[in-house]
């Protein structure tokens, strides 16, 4: 268990904490998170602010674990597997939760999650044939816009919500577009391996 893998596993833990924070019925055990009005317009729930801070920390671990693994030669198959799982746990679970709570578009959530399943399946098939599909720029753009968009959603789109601009919606739509583009590119890269007998 090297440092890079520990950083990756911390993202799994943070993803679970965020899910519990947003899904657990705290009111039933007499725990109430305070809400406060910002700018006389936006009602902010402290529970989502806490989840937003945790999400930012978890997102940063996604950046650091890979850099640490490459710099100090800590790349392992376990790390690659947990990295992929933790990324989906963090972003896709949050997409589902926020879509169910009406805070993000259901359509965007479906596009991104279905694309992830399709791409992961293609990578698995290619991997089983002894090849690999490298990460591409549009996929990184998809992840970046997704994480920033989800962060703004958790922070109630502040400060932009004060001017009536839902920046999270814009970023998540852009992320969905990048998801479709990168999904198609991954297919074109993987198709020669998938179709080969």
Contact 119, 165 (CB under 8 A): no
pTM attached to this predicted model: 0.92
Cβ partners under 8 Å of residue 42, min gap 6: 156, 157, 158, 161, 162
Query: Is 93 a residue whose pLDDT tops 90?
Result: yes
Query: pLDDT, tens digit, for every residue of 122-165?
Result: 988 888 888 888 889 999 999 999 999 999 999 999 999 999 99
CATH class of 3-194: mainly alpha
Q: How far apart are CA 135 and CA 154, in angstroms?
A: 28
Element (H, E) at 42: strand 42-45
Q: Which of 3, 160, 155 is nearest to 70 (CA)?
A: 3
> For residue 196, is pLDDT > 70?
no
167 token code pair: 């920046």
166 vs 78, which has greater pLDDT? 166
Could you report the per-residue pLDDT of 7-23, keeping only the tens digit for each? 999 999 999 999 999 99
Phi–psi pair at 165, nearest 5 degrees: -110, 110
């Amino acid at each position: 268990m090297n440092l890079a893998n520990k950083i990756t596993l911390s993202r799994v833990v943070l993803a679970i904490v965020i899910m519990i924070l947003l899904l657990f019925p705290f009111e039933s055990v007499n725990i109430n998170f305070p809400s406060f009005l910002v700018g006389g317009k936006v009602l902010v729930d402290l529970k989502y602010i806490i989840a937003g801070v945790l999400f930012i920390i978890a997102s940063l671990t996604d950046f650091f674990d890979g850099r640490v693994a490459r710099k100090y030669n800590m790349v392992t198959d376990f790390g690659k597997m947990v990295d992929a799982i933790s990324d989906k746990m963090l972003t896709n679970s949050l997409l589902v939760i926020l879509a169910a709570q009406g805070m993000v578009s259901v359509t965007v959530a479906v596009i991104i999650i279905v694309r992830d399943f399709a791409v992961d399946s293609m990578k698995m098939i290619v991997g089983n044939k002894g090849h690999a599909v490298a990460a591409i720029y549009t996929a990184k753009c998809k992840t970046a816009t997704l994480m920033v968009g989800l962060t703004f959603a958790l922070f109630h789109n502040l400060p932009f919500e004060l001017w009536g601009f839902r920046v999270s919606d814009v970023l998540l739509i852009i992320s969905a577009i990048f998801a479709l583009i990168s999904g198609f590119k991954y297919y074109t890269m993987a198709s020669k391996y998938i179709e080969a007998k």
